[in-house]
Chains A and B, each alone.
Chain A
């Protein structure tokens, strides 16, 4: 009862009294329609959809809304991505959202009861999409992750089950690049550390803050020259930095020097900016050897995934002064960060928020919706996640 009341409350706020039918969604293939009807009946019988609720909806509006609910394809969400929360109505106009997080049932029971015919899952980066989960979703054919990184999705298992995977593509590239550059400037010019110095009253009592390091002329090695890495390169060039990169493959159309080996890249640069995805190949790729090659004047910035860097090793290097500083938006065990980093002035910490602007959320939502629509219309995905 509680679940159906919540659904009706949300529908009331969306449609009543400005109700209008969604003709587009009525063009689904017959078999999908039948599946929807079957599922809806199951929902009806378990949740009494269609009976008068305490929300004082007229029975006419209720049945119209129920009809609409019936015609929209199901999309399962286990934990709502922040972008979904910001732009929920964009989704609910086109899809019927199964809100697992709102159910009092434990997840496996909810899925067994309500998601057996669900074909599409919309997930965030913190939701591991593994064999255990997929086992509970026998009809699943699509996973759409709100993130650019898809390392939390067991791609082999998806492939085995014939499940397509879509990610955010390059929806966030500019905003992520802005954070990468912001962290890079901050570590070199000690902006956060000096801000804290001033806030504690030390400028008046202790005097000037120590010298920092010029940005222009720095040699910056970008690890992973995809769309994010490219945006980072473009920005840093305007500051007079010299760009080189390591990537899965060389990009001959770009003039930046390519290093096939990340250790050599580190040895020949003053800074590394990690922009690549987390895969089996890149896990702990930035290890003791690479950090030593970067050297005690070197700076590292990570906006990829925490596990690309051997975090324990990184902390040791920072504690021992074996590298000069770090700007980190991602960590191996978020939201927990190594305690040693808290006291360090030469480290800037960011709570995995490189995509946290309203514009990125909007863009991300558009990409997710486009992928879902493509799937339900039997069209190719807009941003399939490969590898």
Chain B
């Protein structure tokens, strides 16, 4: 393991290997010295104490590990956390604020790709695309005949939970399909013409579908609960591209199994990569392995944004996508 103190390039700590880091590495390693905690035989705590005391920047992945107060304690020189995700639920933001650590996220880089996934899942559930794909592949079209009807998308009332950059992109797309859009968000956005609901349960009651686009916070944890799912109703569809824990997953699975909601398109789960087994036998559910951002193009854009944020930091320039002020 290289001793970062002697490198000419600024050091950036990375705790865990992940596909994103692997993709980023060729470009990043030309500008930064990547200090890879996972490469060391030492346990993480020992490694940080031994090698990372003067590290100023940490590159974090939305897939983990969580940047906890405990980890931050072992990094006394840390001044910047850059994450490859829009979501910040894996970072102890309060502790960062206390320690004067800036946090930069992926901001709007993914908004389009995530919105595309959300709408793709929504169309799939409504028109049963994946299910009928399996039907044809199983040879059933020839022997059993036509596949059952799907549901028309045009005219449906779609409630967007969280009208941030992702939610706005979803709204724009759904309008082109003739859906009517309303939303619940932390605050109303008066410049937009969509109908605002201050209560997510009321939004569910008045919608044919809910699309979850918000961040995971203490307030939004299990926000989509039994009450909201009941309000959504037997014909209602839910799509989640936020975080698994925004929905009470156990409750949702029960509702799906009992037919108390009409269907679901899920890109995120409470305990990834584990997906509740009951969902595997349901044709009205589409399962996606948290890949809403996983396009070649998004990775290129993200790589540029992450590198840009690190370069700005080390040149004492303003960050490109500051999420938390230090």
**Residues in chain A within 8 A of chain B (CB atoms):** 82, 174-175, 178-179, 181-183, 185-186, 189-192, 194-199, 203-204, 207-209, 211-217, 234-235, 237-240, 334-337, 342, 348-351, 353, 356-361
Question: Cα distance A189–B114 when bound, in Å?
Answer: 11
Q: Mark B292-314, 1 if CB is under 8 A from A, else 0.
A: 00111111000000000000000
Is the beta-carbon distance between B141 and A335 smaller than 8 angstroms? yes
Query: Which of these, B117, B147, B288, B290, contacts A353 with CB under 8 Å?
Result: B147
Which applies to chain B's interface (DSSP): helix, strand, loop or mixed?
Answer: helix
Besides A186-B133, A189-B295, 20 other A-B contacts (C-beta < 8 A): A178-B177, A185-B116, A186-B124, A186-B129, A194-B291, A195-B130, A196-B130, A198-B287, A199-B287, A208-B294, A211-B294, A212-B294, A214-B116, A237-B176, A238-B176, A351-B132, A351-B135, A351-B146, A351-B147, A358-B149
* A207 contacts across to B, CB distance below 8 A: 273
Is the beta-carbon distance between B274 and A204 smaller than 8 angstroms? yes
Q: Assess whether B136 is interfacial by the CB under 8 Å rule.
A: yes
* B137 contacts across to A, CB distance below 8 A: 342, 349
Query: Which of these, A174, A183, A353, A357, contacts B151 with CB under 8 Å?
Result: A357
Is the beta-carbon distance between A351 and B136 smaller than 8 angstroms? yes
Known: A208-B289, A212-B295, A348-B129. A239 touches B116 (CB 8 A): yes
* A185 contacts across to B, CB distance below 8 A: 116, 119-120, 123
Question: Cα distance A197–B289 when bound, in Å?
Answer: 8
* Interface residues contributed by chain B, number (CB under 8 Å): 57
Question: Cα distance A199–B291 when bound, in Å?
Answer: 15
Is the beta-carbon distance between B295 and A191 smaller than 8 angstroms? no
Compute the total of residue contacts between A and B using a CB distance below 8 Å.
Answer: 174
Is the beta-carbon distance between A353 and B273 smaller than 8 angstroms? no
Question: Cα distance A350–B119 when bound, in Å?
Answer: 18
Residue of B128, B130, B142, B274 most packed against chain A (CB within 10 A):
B130
* B297 contacts across to A, CB distance below 8 A: 213-214, 217
Is the beta-carbon distance between B275 and A191 smaller than 8 angstroms? no
Is the beta-carbon distance between A182 and B149 smaller than 8 angstroms? no
Question: Cα distance A175–B152 when bound, in Å?
Answer: 6
* B112 contacts across to A, CB distance below 8 A: 214-216, 239-240
Question: Cα distance A181–B176 when bound, in Å?
Answer: 11
Known: A182-B123, A192-B124, A348-B129. A203 touches B146 (CB 8 A): no
Is the beta-carbon distance between B296 and A214 smaller than 8 angstroms? yes
Q: Assess whether B28 is interfacial by the CB under 8 Å rule.
A: no
Question: Cα distance A234–B172 when bound, in Å?
Answer: 12
